[in-house]
Structures are given as C-alpha cells and as structure tokens.
Structure 1
C-alpha cells in the first residue's frame, strides 16, 4: 500500500495537472515552474523569481484562466541539478535554469557559459535572431527542451581572502567557476576548482571549502555572499563571464498543449526578455552597493583584464569544447561569427 507521504510526493511532482473551475467545462492546465533561486513576490525579490511569477500571471490572463502557472522557488520542487533532466523526461513543466548546469548530460549546453565569448547583453540577446540562436534552439528541441525566455547575466566574483581580478590572482585559490569551461580557465590560471550550483556557494565559502565564487550579480546578492566575502570583483562595466539562464519548458509537455496555449507561452516568454535584461543590468550596479555596505572592497573589471581571461579561454576551453562534438564546433563558430 502506498504511504500518504508517497502519494503527496507523487502529486507534487506530477506535471501539467488539470484543474476544473467551478461552473466551467474547460480544464485548466497547471504548469509547475521550478528554479533554484530565493522566492519573493511578483514585485519584490530576485528578478528571476519575479520573471517566473510574471510569466505565470500573464499566461493565466491571456488564456482566460485555462493556463495556470505555479512557481516553486529554492529548488523546493526538484533539486537544482535534476531540473533539466526532469524537463527532458516530461516530469517537470518549466524551469528558469542556468544552461551550463546541464553540461554533464548534454555538453553542447556549455556554450551558455563560455568565458570570453559573450561580452555584452546586446551580443548575447542577439543570438536569438542569428544562426547561432536557431542552431541552439533546434538542438535543444531535439533534446526535449523549448527555449521560452532568453535571459543572460553578467557575473562577478565574491572572495574571502583576496580579490580575484586578473588570472594572476587565481593561483592557489579554490574557486567555483560555474561551468566546465570556466573551470578549465581557472585551472590554467593556477586555481583549484569546485563544482557546485550557485545556491551552494555560501556554505562552501563559509566552511572554507571555497575561497572565491564566480556567479551572476543577482546571485551574488540573493545568496547573501557579502556575508562571507571581503572582496567583490564587479562585472558591471566589463565581464568575461556571461551565463545564459533561460526560462525553459519541457517539449513533451509543450507539444501536448493546444496551439493557442503554445502561442501564449511563446509570446509571453519573448515579451519578458526586456524585463530579464533590465533586472540583470540593475543588479550589476546594485551588487557593488550591497558589498560596500557590508564592508567589502569592490574592484571593477575592465576591457584589458577581460581580454587576459579571454586569451586563456580561447586556448583552453574553446578548443576543448569545439572538439567535443560536431554540434559544439558549429555552435562555437556561429557564436564567434555573431560577436
């Protein structure tokens, strides 16, 4: 006999639950939206959580309540690293998910954090309408993923003991880079690397397992890393670290929806890209204020320092990535053509 707890867990994990409104013959499709970031409200908190809530609110309005979105922040529904695989299997409807987290399962996704490749928000967001965007979108669709909202984020570094500004500063440090390719660059610079999702950086720095964490400006704020850091390297003016963190959807779930619902999802997703860019850029500025208030020393990256990192990246991570698969090589070529 199934236990009550097992039944509850099964009910929680079930995607695309149908609900019937009172006096309505039309079933409402409930889409569960998962992410690893702190929860808030539609007006306050981490912009990535707010984007998910805005998405849920808007698809409900436009569908007349036929589509309902439920947001599960803080990996409360499914553990962080399992979300991509769950979407591919149709066990999770949507997730705002850092694409390179899927690199162990699908190495091609590491194009979403290739150090030194994307240098501005405009460049990253331009991928969507260029050959690299079509190639990436088609590839992900073949893997069971639909890109709903393109979100790019610049990154910076929170460090415990000394500033991590140039590659020379990395020697001897234990650093969380955020992707296999970033880790390769750090190792070439003399660092040891730690592979954890951004919601685990705080604990790693607090215990001393990690000396410095590279992550998005928003995560540097939302995960309160200023509490365990004495230095911040800001990417507000320039950065070698741009991560693609899109709102993704299970293609298996998407394909089961009627076309009018699919159209609503894609149109709302596209319209939220401006909000995502605005939120990321606002946090690039806000992060310095947060860390200065906490007593940390703040340094800014400049173009010359970014190029030092890019030189290492092109000679290590880029070469390694392009040799992985023919798709990797094509994505990298198309991305460099789009620069």
Structure 2
C-alpha cells in the first residue's frame, strides 16, 4: 500500500499536479497596531494577494506593534534574516537613507498619495535605489503632511514652540524644531501615548492618520496644520529570503511590488488623514492652519533654512547629487496628483 501511494505521488509530481508539500512562510514585521486600517488595508491585503497569487505556496505571517523587531531595528531585521519582510519609517535610522529623506523636506508632499508617487518614482528612476542595495524593496510610500499637536499650549507661530518638549518624527524634522526653540524628543510612534499621558512631553509632530491610529487625539487639544514634514516608509524584503524562493514564487513577489502598492498605501493614509482630522473636530479641539509655510512670514525663514542646512550636510558627505534629487522631487510634486486618480 505504501509503495502504491508513493508511486501515485511521484506520478502526480511528474504531471505537475503536486508542486510543494509545504508552503513557504514569510514573516513580516511592522509597528502599526494589528487592528489598524494600515495593517488591515495595506499589509494584510498585500499578504492575502501574495497568498492568492501563489496558490497557497506562500504564506505571510504578520507581526504588528513591534512584536518581532523594534521599529528602529526593523530594516536591519531583514538584512540579518530576523524578518523576511519589514515595513518601517526611514527616519528611525538617522543618516542611513539621506537621499530618501529629501522627500521629507517642507514643500514637497501635500498628500500621502502624492508622496507615494514621488518617492516610488525616485526609486524606479534610480535616484535613491542605491540606499537599499542590502534588501529587495517591495514598495515605498509616505505619510501625509505631519503637523504640530499639543496638550495645553496653543501654537500659531514658531515663537510659541519655545522650550516645548516635542516628539520629533526624524532627525531632519528635529533640527527644524530645535531651530525654532523647541526641545525635540525621539521615540517610536507606539511609545507616544504613554509619554504624552505622563507629561514626559508637551506635544508631537504627526500626520492626522497617526493621531487616529495611535489614539493620540484623545490626549491633545490644540493642532497647527503647518505642513513642514512628511514621513517616508519602506516595505522591503530580505534578499536571502527572496533568493530562496523558486523562480515562480519570486515572480509572485515581483508582481506585487512597485507603484500599484505604493499608491494603494497612499490612498489608505489619505483616508485616515481625513478621519483623524474629523475626530479632532468632533471632540471640539482648536485647529489652526498655515496653508503655505514656505510663503508665510513667520514660518518660511526657519523652514527654508532647515532645508538648506540639510542639503549642505548631504553635500559635505559627498552626496553631490542631493540638490538634483531635491529638484526632481519638486518636479514630481507638480507631476504627481495630490488626489488619487
């Protein structure tokens, strides 16, 4: 009987009916909560598409909320094989993705959909691709513009930031906050709620999406919509994990990489930005707006100086194409629609 079963299995393999006895499991790490729309509508949706396209030969296990690796270690987790796939913000590893972080500068990103188009295009055109040579990028995208949110202090001008302890989203944004008199603090997004609740900080810089996803609207009363920064995000795969797949399964990964998923992520973040702002309005918060900070008498000076300081620092590091990439990002800002088509 055993020999008969074995002969049947061998015949099935020869006929192409049996491809693999076991599915390949890919472990994905990220920092967003499991129940969040970001996890469900982007990462879980991506996983389900991959599982479907591979006819069950690939399975994706998702580890949300930093349960497999901390946010500031997630990229290295893919390099070192701790995770097969990581989604993280480049700003958590200061200085590692300097050209990518140009997209974070003031005046470039006006919506997450637009930012996703800008960042993914820069990657596909080769301007920033070299920064990811140690992994295999799936897709890149951005948050919407990050604004300033505080518990007890109403902010209208840079002078209002004097001595306030503000969580910075990245080193670049932190330098701009410091130039305006704030005391920037660095910490991963999941740690912000407790720190704000305990009075460790006075406020933070966040897009509306994150204010809702991480429940920070519950703790803040004042908001200034000054679009001086946007977070960049990468979804990337361990090169070793990719290479151990069969050519057919590599094709599945390739087909689920690139602009399609960049724009999908941007659309999810745009919807969450709108919902986050509506939540703050509904609870009666005070919201002020600076529509064009680069043309505002109070904000233009420090933001333009912050941009210049960053570009000069990149040139000092020998990145002579920094200004070219900055100019290309501005061109793409005008080519990529603010609203998804």
Could you say which TM-score interval applies, normalised by the shorter chain? 0.7 to 0.9
Runs of 4+ in 1 over 6 A off after TM superposition: none
Following superposition of structure 1 onto structure 2, how do residues 107-118 of structure 1 map, counting pairs within 5 Å?
110-111=101-102, 113-118=104-109
Q: How many Å apart are 1:112 and its aligned residue?
A: 5.3
- Counterpart CA distance in 1 for 2:100 and 2:77 is 16
- C-alpha deviation, 1:286, in angstroms: 1.5
User: What residue number does 1:268 align with?
Assistant: 256
Q: Give the equivalent residue in structure 1 for 2:244.
A: 256
Q: Is the 8 A contact 2:30 2:86 kept in 1?
A: yes
State which drifts further: 155-164 or 80-89.
Answer: 155-164
Offset at 1:255? Answer: 2.6
The 1:81–1:33 alpha-carbon spacing in structure 2 relative to 1, beyond 3 Å, is same
Q: Deviations over 1:193-215 (max 9, x none)?
A: 10101111112211222111112
Kindly indicate whether residue 327 of structure 2 is the aligned counterpart of residue 336 of structure 1. yes
Report deviation, 1:314: 2.1
Deviations 1:134-185 (A, max 9, x none): 13223212xx122212221122222112234542322221111211111111
Identify which of 80, 105, 109 aligns with 2:71: 80
The Cα of 1:264 is off from its aligned counterpart by 1.7
Contact 1:98–1:243 (8 Å) recurs in 2:
yes
Contact persistence 1:157–1:234 (CA under 8 A): yes
Structural mapping, 1:298-317, within 5 Å: 298-303=287-292, 304-305=295-296, 307-317=300-310
1:95 aligns with 2:95: no
Counterpart of 2:266 in structure 1 is 277
Q: How high is the TM-score relative to the length of structure 2?
A: 0.81
What's the offset of the Cα at 1:117? Answer: 4.4
Give the match for residue 5 of structure 2: none
Secondary structure of 1:71's aligned partner: strand
The 3 A distance-change label for structure 1 pair 90 and 166 is: farther
1:251 Cα deviation from its structure 2 partner: 2.0
| 220 and 131 in structure 1: CA distance in 2 versus 1, 3 angstrom threshold | closer
Contact 1:48 1:276 in 2 (8 A): no
Between 1:115-124 and 1:54-63, the stretch displaced more is 115-124
Structure 1 match to 2:126: 134
- How far residue 300 of structure 1 moved from its aligned partner, in angstroms, is 2.5
Q: Quick check: which has more Rg, 1 or 2? A: 2
Decide which of 30, 48, 54 is 1:35's aligned counterpart: 30
Q: How many residues align?
A: 306
Quick one: structure 1 residues 257 and 167, their matched pair in 2 at CA, closer, same or farther if it must change by over 3 Å?
farther
More moved, 167-176 vs 267-276:
267-276
Which residues of structure 1 form unaligned runs of 5+?
1-22
SS of the residue corresponding to residue 127 of structure 2 reads helix
Correspondence for 1:149 = 139
Partner-residue secondary structure (3-state), 1:316:
helix
Whether the aligned pair in 1 keeps the contact of 2:151 and 2:203 (CA below 8 Å) is yes
SS of match in other structure, 1:146: strand
The yes-or-no answer on 1:319 pairing with 2:309 is no
1:254 is paired with a residue of what secondary structure? helix
TM-align CA RMSD: 2.5
